[in-house]
Homo-oligomer: A and B are copies of this chain.
């Protein structure tokens, strides 16, 4: 059974700006979906901000193995309820691939617990993404670096928690560096942040960038059944303990006192 990938895009620049529309006539989500959809082991669909529930209903998320997320100018319009729903699915085991300006998305910030801030510059400069962890599944089939002729600069410090793995680090023509491919786990879900993808450049038509996204979909996929009980805090009664016990010690409730909960 193929991996079910959903590409989520805020899809606003495409509506408002002729340049972006010319680059991505089907939207950034459309460009990514076309590339990933050509892989026989990936089953790809899309969802966007302006759809009901942002296209991320409970049913849609249950049927999503890996979610890609691109957002920028409308992070604040994403409903907190939907963010909580996506976060819960990540905890249950859904993979999440966070793209470019989605470093400031609500969903990435609540999963990281940090500001996720950085420096930036829009000057169309060269970005060179060095492969740091060469045999990592996400880097399979790449040369020692990916060079992108025109990209927005993101510079350190990138205020994320220390990653589980650093897969790419970027060099920018203007003098900065950035941890541009980093992995995390939250609950049963794997998370990959990948830096390139400014809306004004044809980055999502770059074959190597698309190759990374295909690798990322496969890496982020967790075939285990969803861990739907991950939010629970079950009580284990004393007589059902692995080593059954008698209750002892002080007791919270004095005799005759009612419980407070």
Given contacts A121-B237, A187-B114, A248-B124, whether A169 and B159 have CB atoms under 8 Å apart is: no
The 8 Å CB contact of A230, one of B117, B242, B260, is: B117
A249 at the interface (CB under 8 A from B): yes
Nearest CB to that of A20 among chain B residues? B252
Q: Mask for A170-198, Cβ within 8 A of B = 1, else 0? A: 11111111010000111110000000000
Q: Main SS of chain A's interface residues?
A: loop
The answer on a CB contact under 8 Å between B149 and A249 is yes
The answer on a CB contact under 8 Å between B186 and A113 is yes
Known interface pairs A91-B114, A113-B186, A161-B185; 6 further A-B residue pairs with C-beta atoms within 8 A, sorted by A's residue number: A16-B260, A19-B251, A110-B110, A120-B234, A124-B249, A171-B172
Please indicate the chain B residues that have their CB under 8 angstroms from the CB of A1 in the complex: none
The answer on a CB contact under 8 Å between B150 and A250 is yes
Given contacts A156-B169, A232-B117, A243-B174, whether A248 and B150 have CB atoms under 8 Å apart is: yes
The answer on a CB contact under 8 Å between B242 and A175 is yes
The answer on a CB contact under 8 Å between A91 and B156 is no
Please indicate the chain B residues that have their CB under 8 angstroms from the CB of A174 in the complex: 236, 238, 241-245
Please indicate the chain B residues that have their CB under 8 angstroms from the CB of A125 in the complex: 238, 245, 248-249
A220 at the interface (CB under 8 A from B): no
Please indicate the chain B residues that have their CB under 8 angstroms from the CB of A123 in the complex: 238, 241, 245-249
CA distance A55 to B261 in the complex (A): 25
The answer on a CB contact under 8 Å between B115 and A91 is yes
**Distance between A25 CB and nearest chain B CB, rounded to angstroms:** 15
Please indicate the chain B residues that have their CB under 8 angstroms from the CB of A246 in the complex: 123
The answer on a CB contact under 8 Å between A177 and B175 is no
The answer on a CB contact under 8 Å between A130 and B117 is no
A67 at the interface (CB under 8 A from B): no
CA distance A114 to B161 in the complex (A): 13
Please indicate the chain B residues that have their CB under 8 angstroms from the CB of A100 in the complex: none
The answer on a CB contact under 8 Å between A166 and B164 is no
CA distance A227 to B114 in the complex (A): 13
The answer on a CB contact under 8 Å between A199 and B252 is yes
10 shortest interchain CB distances as A-B pairs = A124-B249, A175-B242, A150-B249, A135-B188, A174-B241, A123-B238, A175-B243, A200-B252, A124-B248, A135-B224
Nearest CB to that of A229 among chain B residues? B117
